[in-house]
Amino acid sequence: MSRFFWVRHGPTHANSMVGWSDIPADLSDAALIARVDAHLPQDALVISSDLIRAVDTATAIGGARRRLPHDRDLREIHFGAWELQRFNEVDDPAHIKRFWEEPGDVKAPDGESWNDLHVRVSAAAQRLIAAHPGRDIIAVAHFGAILSQVQTARGQTASEAFAQKIDNLSVTELHWTGDPAGPWRPHRVNHIP
């Protein structure tokens, strides 16, 4: 069995859609960062997306744990032309409404859909399992990336997964059992240590 500890990066305080923009996280809550670090297994491997908010969060909670190279497949959903815009600033209100209310194949212009994100992050998780069988893995990632894996573990629809809250610096623990009937088991979602 492999245990995945998905940690959402520290807050950015952005009031817009932040996908692939490389903006920093606010890591000033030293007490919370220390609690997250203490909650995570000390012998786990640490990996993050390649965006600075995830990289810096992984460094802050990583301690002496072995660090794996950053993985761009753990990035947030790509908002394309909507990047750094607010919901009400998008030129096509009907399109963005469908994107949020009917997650699945709807894409932002020059961006990706929820299903694209799900496939990308799931493939990254499977690569990690294959490369490090039986190891605990701390993956510092983003709201959408984490929710995509919660969707798989719980057997939810995209809409059901989208309704789940994932706070900054929360820990979502999912267990890989490899059982063909359901290889993922959700253990804890959106836990704040």
Judge contact between 160 and 186, C-beta under 8 A: no
Tell me whether residue 9 is one of the annotated catalytic residues.
yes
Closest CA to 52 of 77, 74, 23: 23
State phi, psi for 186 to the nearest 5 degrees. Answer: -75, 130
Q: Which is the catalytic residue, given 39, 70, 76, 175?
A: 76
DSSP letter at 15 equals S
Cβ burial of 64 (10 Å; 0-12, 13-18, 19+) is exposed
Strands lying side by side in the sheet with 184-191:
45-48, 137-141, 2-8, 171-176, 184-191
Half-sphere exposure of 27 (CA within 13 A, CB side): 20
Tell me whether residue 95 is one of the annotated catalytic residues.
no
What are the residue numbers of the active site? 9, 76
